[in-house]
Amino acid sequence: MKRKNNAIYIDLENIPAALDLKSLLDDLSLRHNVDSDEENVFVIKMAAGNSTAIRKMKKQLTEYNFEIRDTPSITSKYKNRADLIISLAALETIIINMPVIDRYVFITSDSDFTVIMEMLRKYGKEVFLVTKEAVSDKPVFSNSCDEILILESYTTKAKGAKKEMKIAVEPTPQEKMNEHVKELAKKVIDSFDPDSWQLTSFVGTKFHQMDKSRMIERSKYKSLGALLAQLEKEKYITKRINEKGQPELRKATGEPRSQL
């Protein structure tokens, strides 16, 4: 399997505490793989900020094994050195070149990072920026990276936007697992061009790269084939057999039916 090494850096004082790291990392894992044999691997994960900013996200950062750098202000009148520390850490990877990093991801709304972003691109590296929607259209950002993702799309508030009423009955662990693998499959399908047919085997490879603990086998579906059959029943996907006799699928047009 081909590895695409990723480095991700979080400027903790320029992001909301509601950032959902799992949602963001899942999305980044699925982006821009050339073929089914390629997998995005996060080999460097660093977050920097003052103690207050660290405290707001410490649980998530610890769960995902981030290196956490406390960057207190030198004086009360000046901001801390998180941007400098992260920038130097990213530059060091170019100098050492072990491991070789293919893609750099910066999560910040601070334009100071555009200096290191532009330099990394000069060395042929792919650079992503995850930033607030309010500043995402700044030319200084769009001219310094390959892709911009909107920070608000990866917050717990975004995930809970549909929560209009309290659910009376708490789902069981088994029900949560069933729902999780279904959402994982949808996330994989949503990552493809909606107008392009994908080999079912390719979809399966991408799904299993995400489902490393093989939850699908412990869910009620037991296999990806059964889960895809359910998504087809719900009209979330459409299937066909191509001219070579291979099964393919793509996301169905129109709104899917409500879940069963």
Asked if the model's pLDDT at residue 259 lies above 60, the reply is: no
Tokens of 219: 């869910």
* C-alpha distance from residue 4 to each of 31, 32, 63, 104 (Å): 11, 10, 22, 11
Q: What are the tens digits of pLDDT across the range 178-203?
A: 999 999 999 999 999 989 999 999 99
141 contact partners, CB below 8 Å, separation of at least 6: 111, 114, 129, 131, 135, 148
| Phi, psi angles (nearest 5°) of residue 243 | -65, -15
Q: What are the tens digits of pLDDT across the range 65-118?
A: 999 999 887 665 556 688 999 999 999 999 999 899 999 999 999 999 999 999
pLDDT of residue 79: 64
- Low-confidence winner among 61-65, 120-124, 165-169, 194-198 (lowest mean pLDDT): 165-169
Strand 147-150 relative to strand 198-199: parallel, antiparallel, unpaired?
A: unpaired
Using N-to-C axis directions, what is the helix angle for 21-30 and 173-190, rounded to 10°? 40
pLDDT of residue 213: 82
pLDDT of residue 210: 86
pLDDT of residue 34: 58
Distance CA 241, CA 115 (A): 49
Q: For residue 11, give the nearest of 117, 136, 115, 113 by alpha carbon.
A: 113
Asked if the model's pLDDT at residue 30 lies above 90, the reply is: no
- Looking at residue 132, what DSSP letter applies? -
Tokens of 65: 């094994």
Could you tell me the pTM of the whole model? Answer: 0.76
Q: Which domains does the chain have, with CATH numbers?
A: 2-159 (3.40.50.1010), 173-251 (1.10.10)
**Mean pLDDT of all residues in the chain?**
88
Distance CA 49, CA 72 (A): 7
